[in-house]
Chains A and B, each alone.
Chain A
Amino acid sequence: KQEVTQIPAALSVPEGENLVLNCSFTDSAIYNLQWFRQDPGKGLTSLLLIQSSQREQTSGRLNASLDKSSGRSTLYIAASQPGDSATYLCAPFSGGYNKLIFGAGTRLAVHP
């Protein structure tokens, strides 16, 4: 059974800092891994998807890396802004057939 852990559970930083959010998963037999953002009271927005054959994926100030063999992924946020405040969730595809399992998330607060 796939289990996903995200560290830290919560993070509060001043604006401008570079951030590292960590995700680990127990079953390395994944097809890919997706990072999402969730704002309070809202749905989930997909940020990045990394295929199992890839090492990293970039979108603007976001960079996600994947080490499938060790069961780890990292989301880097460069030059954080107050608008980045949200909960960030990682979710590997596993279970052999399009099954997405979520971590509990990292709750990020960026203050001016």
Chain B
Amino acid sequence: DAGVIQSPRHEVTEMGQEVTLRCKPISGHNSLFWYRQTMMRGLELLIYFNNNVPIDDSGMPEDRFSAKMPNASFSTLKIQPSEPRDSAVYFCASNIQGVSGNTIYFGEGSWLTVV
């Protein structure tokens, strides 16, 4: 399997612009996670989906952030409008959710810089 695929790998955008990050989970996985990593705050869970349904979005920082999962093989994380403090690495991850959990696999990340 190709693993979790994220795009774009790197993006530099101006403040106020809309940013869309994309993720393709591993085929057969039914849970998908969006994380953000910064030096100051480390890795933070933003939102996760199970069977395409958002289960917990309590980590989404504010209304400027939104995430969708229209089908089992695709998810987007959108920031509109973007701000410099949104600069971070955004990771997508997936697994097969079970009673005792299963190994989570991470993508290579989308490195976002907002200037």
Task: Give A contacts to B, CB under 8 Å.
Answer: 31-32, 34, 36, 42-46, 49, 51-53, 89, 93, 95, 97-105
Given contact pairs A43-B91, A98-B50, A34 touches B103 in the complex (Cβ within 8 A): yes
Which of A49, A93, A98, A100 has the most chain B CB atoms closer than 10 A to its own CB? A98
List of A residues within 8 angstroms of B33 by Cβ: 100
B14-22, B70-78, B79-87, B94-102 - the one binding chain A = B94-102
List of A residues within 8 angstroms of B43 by Cβ: 89, 102
List of A residues within 8 angstroms of B91 by Cβ: 43-44
Q: Let me know if B100 and A46 touch, CB within 8 A.
A: no
Given contact pairs A97-B55, A98-B48, A104 touches B100 in the complex (Cβ within 8 A): no
> Counting CB contacts under 8 A, is B104 at the interface?
yes
List of A residues within 8 angstroms of B45 by Cβ: 99-101
Contact of A43 among B31, B97, B102, B106 (CB under 8 A): B106
List of B residues within 8 angstroms of A34 by Cβ: 103-104
Q: Separation in Å of the A7 CB from the closest CB of chain B?
A: 15
Q: Separation in Å of the A31 CB from the closest CB of chain B?
A: 4
Q: Let me know if A95 and B56 touch, CB within 8 A.
A: yes
Across the A-B interface, the 4 shortest Cβ-Cβ residue pairs: A102-B43, A44-B106, A93-B101, A43-B108
